[in-house]
Amino acid sequence: MAPATQSTVILGLLQELHDRLSQCQEGAVADYIPELAKAVPRDFGIVVAMADGRIYAVGETEKPFTIQSISKPFAYGLALQQLSVEHMQRKVGVEPSGEAFNAISLDPETGRPRNPMINAGAIATSAQLQQLAGAGAEALLLHFFSQLAGRELSIDLEVYASERDTGHRNRAISHLLRNVSVIEGDVEPGLDLYFRQCAISVTCRDLGVMAATLACQGRNPLTGERPLDAPTTVQMLSLMGTCGMYDAAGQWLHDVGMPAKSGVAGGVLAVVPGQFGIAVYSPPLDSYGNSVRGVAACKELSERLSLHLYDQNPLGRSAIRRSYTGNHIQSRRWRTNTELVHLRDQGQSLRILHAQGVLDFYGTEQLLANLEGMARSARVIVLDMHHVQELLPNSLEMLIQTLGELDRQGIRVVISRAQGLIESPRWADLLAQTGIERVDELDIALELGEKLLLQAREARPDRPSPERPSLLLQLDPPQRQELESLLVPRTVKTGERVIRRGDDGDSLFLIVAGHFTTGVHVQFGSGDSRHSRLATFTSGMCFGEISFLSGKPRSADVVADEPGDLLVLSRDDFERLRLRSPETAIQLLLALSAELGGRLGRTSYQLSVMDHL
């Protein structure tokens, strides 16, 4: 489904352009095909269809007209996919002709039509599809064009009959192609398919969606269908750039700088690869057979929006979203004071880098150079790929080589949030043969990076030996002894839910050994939900104090990550302690307040730092 919200500024820009160009009275409606001569000269529509499915439309954008020569690059793309590049290269060239679109001529050296955008090349292409599919060729063609437009299309039979009955020049071209064996067999079926192809009925909006499909490398942004693969789309856009605007193609590329195709019914389709498609409908044509208003609209949009293919600012995009060190931010795994001191001392050697965008060669070069620059001072690198939209195959190979070299240098690497980007046998081999880690959450990646730094200290067992909770150490010895007499030992298993959200806060938990994680399920507007970790506590810490103090229900679950030991203070025992020994209760409350204050202070700091990362 297309996004509903539009930019009023963009819509206003298109409306102003439409209103101004509507005053243009130049050009004439095509009259060599009788049905086309019935077009209304004042009809004029502009559509911009974004790669995310958002559509901007002004003017006459829902009125049907026939696609005509705009069908040519699409039919050629279908032939490339249904047959092969090699087969089509034997039948049709890819060079600009410099002649009129309906010239009766072939390349004198090869005997082929010079390209698929002129009538000779388009008729040859249709003949290949007809020979391939036989009686099913028309259905094949219509299904393909319907996928491109995102709705069911049909043929305007009146225009088809008009073209068929007056298409003597195209019939002569067909016989010329038969004479040089580009067409093999009877010329009429392939020529008839060509006439039907040109008579497919579309709207300006349809052409906009088709242009956006090319911008998305063959994926329709409205339906998600992929009628074209990416390599075929590249070949189509290349031909549209050099041959798409008839014998004015060179001037078009010079002035407008976008792959495009026009049709004599008044349509113009242009593509800004990776971004959006443009469609214009206005029947009056110039001497080359291109829509006068269509050319003017595309030229002005190119100039005002800096869309020219060769006008690309290298500073306009970066593969690096942000980069910082372990001194700036920490994971939600709460650390002991000893660990915090070590992480503060060594935080500079933990580097976190967030990549973004499309990692083509330009973006990948930035990413790899930054990774290798970090390697000079880092011992651990966390590479987060959550905002990477696409990682091209050759870029993945270069990334694998770089990460492998970092691992050989002894630098530990953790990859986070790269789901769907790096699935390949080479990647699986890299993970199997190196110490590179891959996790699905950034916070877990940060925790793992911290763990790798801490492991560099003097060797210690994986599970810390039991220790007295730090909360108890804040009490004076007599009060500590009195409180300890009320604590009930509890042993828990891995995965055991110690606290359930919504339960009464009737207990305070002090950790003797083990790791315990608190988290909640976050519900998104889309209806999806996921578990979000709030914090992980370890030996010497406590949890459950907020509900214990406030008396309100638990706000989150707490689950044991491993076997652990707890000391539990019940609310009933605390109330009896408060009445029997106020001094002990006061010292406990002060200790809990200090604990909460420390956590709130650290959380506030982390949030403020995030504003600047």
DSSP state of 524: P
Residue 493's alpha-carbon distances to 207, 303, 382, 469, in angstroms, are: 62, 67, 31, 20
Instruction: Confirm if 514 and 558 have CB atoms less than 8 A apart.
Output: no
Show contacts of 251-260: CB within 8 Å, 24+ apart: 252/295, 253/309, 255/299, 255/302, 256/295, 256/298, 256/299, 256/302, 256/308, 257/302, 257/307, 257/308, 257/309, 257/310, 257/311, 258/298, 258/302, 258/307, 258/308, 258/309, 259/214, 259/309, 260/298
Nearest to 294 by CA among 321, 271, 267: 267
Pairing of strands 200-202, 154-155: antiparallel
Pairing of strands 380-391, 350-359: parallel
Question: What does the alpha-carbon distance between residue 9 and residue 71 come to, in Å, rounded to a whole number?
Answer: 32
Judged on CB neighbours under 10 Å (0-12, 13-18, 19+), 488 is exposed
- The rounded Cα 368 to chain-centroid distance in angstroms is 20
DSSP state of 122: H
Does the annotation count 522 as an active-site position? no
DSSP state of 135: G
Q: Which tokens belong to 515?
A: 């790791």
Q: Which residue out of 56, 76, 160, 246 is catalytically annotated?
A: 246
Torsion of CA 571, 572, 575, 580, to 10 degrees: -140
Does the annotation count 288 as an active-site position? no
381 strand-pairing partners = 351, 413
Count of other CB atoms within 10 angstroms of residue 405: 14
Q: Which residue out of 56, 76, 160, 194 is catalytically annotated?
A: 194
DSSP state of 28: B
* Main-chain dihedrals φ then ψ at residue 492, nearest 5 degrees: -125, 160
Question: What does the alpha-carbon distance between residue 373 and residue 240 come to, in Å, rounded to a whole number?
Answer: 41
Question: What does the alpha-carbon distance between residue 511 and residue 467 come to, in Å, rounded to a whole number?
Answer: 8
Pairing of strands 276-281, 45-50: antiparallel
Does the annotation count 91 as an active-site position? no
Instruction: Confirm if 114 and 91 have CB atoms less than 8 A apart.
Output: no
Segment (H or E) for 194: helix 187-198
Q: Which residue out of 58, 72, 280, 382 is catalytically annotated?
A: 72
Q: Which residue out of 29, 56, 58, 69 is catalytically annotated?
A: 69
Does the annotation count 94 as an active-site position? no
Does the annotation count 105 as an active-site position? no
Strands (E), 373-428: 380-391, 412-416
Q: Which residues are catalytic?
A: 69, 72, 194, 246, 264
